[in-house]
Structure formats: C-alpha cells, structure tokens
Amino acid sequence: MGKPAEIVNLGGGEALWQYPRGPAGRETFVVRIGPDGRVREVSQVLSMQNLAHLRPGESTPEDARRVLGPPFRIVPMTRLQRDVWEYYMYEDVRPIIVYLQFDSSQRLREVLRIDDPSFRSRNR
C-alpha cells in the first residue's frame, strides 16, 4: 500500500498506519502494527459503526483521527471558534458527507451527516 498518510502511535509499541483511498478519501484503510512489527489487522474505518464511537462533549480530534483516520479537509470557522473536519464516506451504499465540529477546547460539539449533493439525481 506504500507509505501511509499518517501513523498514529498507540503506545506499547503498537501503531496504526492510515491509508485514505478513493475519490475524496471515501475509504480509509488502517493497518494495525503490533509491538513486534507484524500486521495485526487491516480494516476500512470510514463507517457508521466507527462514527458511533465519537461522543459529543467527550471526543477529541485525536480520537477522531484514531477512529476514522485523517479528514478530507479541516475548515476553520473563526467566528464560531470551531474547526470542522470533513469526511466523505458511505452509509450502507449511499454516499454521504460527515462534518465533525470541534470547539476551542478541542472537544467534539456536533456531528452532521448529509447526503453528498454531487450524487443526487436531477430528477428528484
């Protein structure tokens, strides 16, 4: 898979190697490396099940990176004193965009899910 986009050290010698793939990073594969340097697991992490692990008021940007991988983009919302992390993913087979809003104390404040407008039918 080549060089990872990011490496997250988990402590104890374990690490997550993150590989965003697909258009706008709609899939992110994570390889869990054990303390012995061997691959323990390979999984696609941009999923609704993983998104459910992030809790408003508790989760941090580090939690989001560990659970979902790097965002497609981070947009500062200066007037609201928030950063919005944008993820392109699928809900079942429906393409969606997920926005995670982190406040100035680095806590998740809001999760917004919308249908990706670039995939909407013109006849609807």
> Percent of the chain, pLDDT > 70?
96
- Which pTM was predicted? 0.88
- Residues 48, 51: Cα–Cα separation, whole Å: 5
Residue 1 within a domain: no
Residue 33 within a domain: yes
Parent domain of 106:
6-119
- Residues 73, 59: Cα–Cα separation, whole Å: 18
Residue 69 within a domain: yes
For residue 85, pLDDT over 60 is answered with yes
Residue 124 within a domain: no
Assign residue 42 the CATH number of its domain.
3.30.1450.10
- Residues 52, 45: Cα–Cα separation, whole Å: 12
pLDDT tens sequence across 7-18: 999 999 999 999
As for how many domains the chain has, the answer is 1
